[in-house]
Amino acid sequence: MSDFTSDSPMHAQAKHQRAPRAEFYAYFAIIFLATLPLSCLTWALSALRQMTIPRKGPIARAWSQARIITPMIFSA
């Protein structure tokens, strides 16, 4: 009698069903480019309101938003 509980064929297939890296980076680039104009606008408005340059620039803001949003797409 064989024991298939630890290394079943179904379990082996489910382990390798990850999204390719190229697809992740493509989505990341699209989301980064989409969030860049809005982050520039919010950065400029923040600078005008506070009369100082914000610590985080518009590119850093767009980058962090893309880092948050992209994994949400792949986890859904």
Tens of pLDDT, residue by residue, the chain (76 residues): 666 666 555 555 555 566 578 999 999 999 999 999 999 999 999 999 999 998 999 999 999 999 999 999 888 7
What's the whole-model pTM score?
Answer: 0.69
Considering the domain boundaries, does residue 49 fall inside one? yes
Considering the domain boundaries, does residue 40 fall inside one? yes
Q: What's the domain count of the chain?
A: 1
> In Å, what is the CA distance from 68 to each residue of 14, 19, 24, 46, 75?
25, 17, 13, 21, 12
Considering the domain boundaries, does residue 13 fall inside one? no
- pLDDT at 2 (0 to 100): 63
Place of tokens 């400029």: 44
Instruction: Kindly give the residue spans of alpha helices, DSSP state H, lying in 1-76.
Output: 9-15, 21-50, 58-75
Considering the domain boundaries, does residue 54 fall inside one? yes
Considering the domain boundaries, does residue 28 fall inside one? yes
- pLDDT at 74 (0 to 100): 85
Closest CA to 74 of 39, 36, 25: 25
